[in-house]
Structure 1
Amino acid sequence: MAEENGMVNPEQQDAEQGQTQSKGRMQEAMELGGTAMGVLAVGFALVFLGLTVIYISLGILYLFSCRVQPMIPIWLIVYGTVCLILIVAGISDKKNKTELAYLKTGLKVILLLFAFCWFIAGNVWVFGTLAKNPDFENLRHENSCHKGLFYFALICGVIFPYASIALAVIIMVSVWVCKRIDTNS
């Protein structure tokens, strides 16, 4: 009855105000999350760019220092080079729809497929070497490999990409859940 007389129910007004504040906080959180995602993406790009240069450098520096699996330094050189090309191609990408742009996109897809297959091959070489229990002390031994080269290939070349993919999936799922919550409220 109070509403009919032009008076607003204080409890209803408090509920509506709380709902408005909640939506405002959710919007602020989403904007902050978007900013954090951008910063995180730039951070990952810089780390990955640095890693590609280190892949190439260590591969060249220790090219003949892994007798147990000579493909590990070559894998680092090729993988680093391909990833560096992909990063540069992604940065310089322009959103035009010319025939040249379609050709460039096709080449990037082929390069991505090669990078994926080369990554899998590197996994086989690195984990195969790990299973052979390489000798890190005597580099003249047939079963030897430079310790720094091998552990860099294992940790930064194999484990870090898997961890990055897992983190990216967690972030994407979190953003998707937050958007679903925002649209449902």
Structure 2
Amino acid sequence: MGKGKRGDGLAICGAACICCCTVVIVLSLLGLGIAKTAMGVIHLYDCPLQDKVPIWLIVSGIAPIFFGGSASKQDENGEESPSTVRCVCGIIALIFNLAWLICGSLWVYPTYGTVNKDDFVACIGNATTSCSQDCYMPTLTFAFAMVTLDWIFFVLWFIIIMCSIQASCCRSRGGARYA
């Protein structure tokens, strides 16, 4: 009496683990967005070698929050309600984020490589000949790490979407799976 099925506890534990992991991931991504924006704003004029690096940090920190409303929402029955406007906004967000990530790669990676060359001489103090404009290294290193991390997240997200599409196609074919 009162006993559930044998695997109910495991299912509840798995669901709780997924919820906790989701919350941690969302909070971490939100924190990274805030950190990107803060670093970009604080050091907006500290990278004359490539002045677009702080701007990339600011926009890449704000864009996911701005486009976050394009996620699917549930109606009063708990069913996901697909909306054409939401789908279009999601596609625009995807294209914008990919384009902005490519721009960040084109601005951050070459600048990071230039500053880390052995023959790089920064224009500091009275040195004005045979030198290059510098970039505040903590900001540039942070931007380098964020571009790399964004590419990793983008590839993982793309793989998850492709697997979801494949699973959806398999379900629509009656569950038949082809290897």
Identity across aligned pairs (percent)?
23
Query: Whole-Å Cα distance in 2 between the matches of residues 30 and 137 of structure 1?
Result: 59
Cα displacement string for residues 123-157 of structure 1 (whole angstroms, at most 9, x for unaligned residues): 121111122125797677633111221111112x2
Query: Whole-Å Cα distance in 1 between the matches of residues 62 and 84 of structure 2?
Result: 22
* CA positional deviation for 1:24: 4.6
* CA positional deviation for 1:29: 4.7
CA 1:116–1:47: 2 relative to 1, 3 Å: same
Q: Calculate the aligned-residue CA RMSD, in Å.
A: 3.6
5 Å matches for 1:79-90?
79-87=60-68, 89=69
Aligned partner (choices 21, 34, 39) of residue 58 of structure 1: 39
CA 1:121–1:139: 2 relative to 1, 3 Å: farther
* CA positional deviation for 1:160: 2.5
* CA positional deviation for 1:97: 5.2
Query: Whole-Å Cα distance in 2 between the matches of residues 31 and 164 of structure 1?
Result: 28
1:46 is aligned to 27
5 Å matches for 1:106-125?
106-125=88-107
Equivalent residues of 2:40, 2:57 under 8 A apart:
yes
Report the secondary structure of 1:132's partner residue: helix
Equivalent residues of 1:136, 1:147 under 8 A apart:
no
CA 1:50–1:91: 2 relative to 1, 3 Å: farther
Query: Whole-Å Cα distance in 1 between the matches of residues 140 and 101 of structure 2?
Result: 15
* CA positional deviation for 1:91: 6.8
CA 1:139–1:153: 2 relative to 1, 3 Å: farther
Q: Which has the higher contact order (CA 8 A, sep 6+)?
A: 1
TM-score normalized by the length of structure 1: 0.62
Report the secondary structure of 1:57's partner residue: helix
2:150 is aligned to 161
* CA positional deviation for 1:50: 1.4
Read off the aligned partner of 2:139 and give its amino acid letter.
L
* CA positional deviation for 1:162: 3.9
CA 1:97–1:167: 2 relative to 1, 3 Å: closer
5 Å matches for 1:126-165?
126-133=108-115, 142-155=132-145, 157-164=146-153
1:19 is aligned to none
CA 1:51–1:133: 2 relative to 1, 3 Å: same
1:183 is aligned to none
Query: Whole-Å Cα distance in 2 between the matches of residues 136 and 94 of structure 1?
Result: 57
Residue 33 of structure 1 pairs with residue 22 of structure 2: no
Query: Whole-Å Cα distance in 2 between the matches of residues 91 and 77 of structure 1?
Result: 22
Report the secondary structure of 2:115's partner residue: coil
Read off the aligned partner of 2:147 and give its amino acid letter.
V
Report the secondary structure of 2:91's partner residue: helix
Query: Whole-Å Cα distance in 2 between the matches of residues 139 and 83 of structure 1?
Result: 37
CA 1:49–1:136: 2 relative to 1, 3 Å: farther
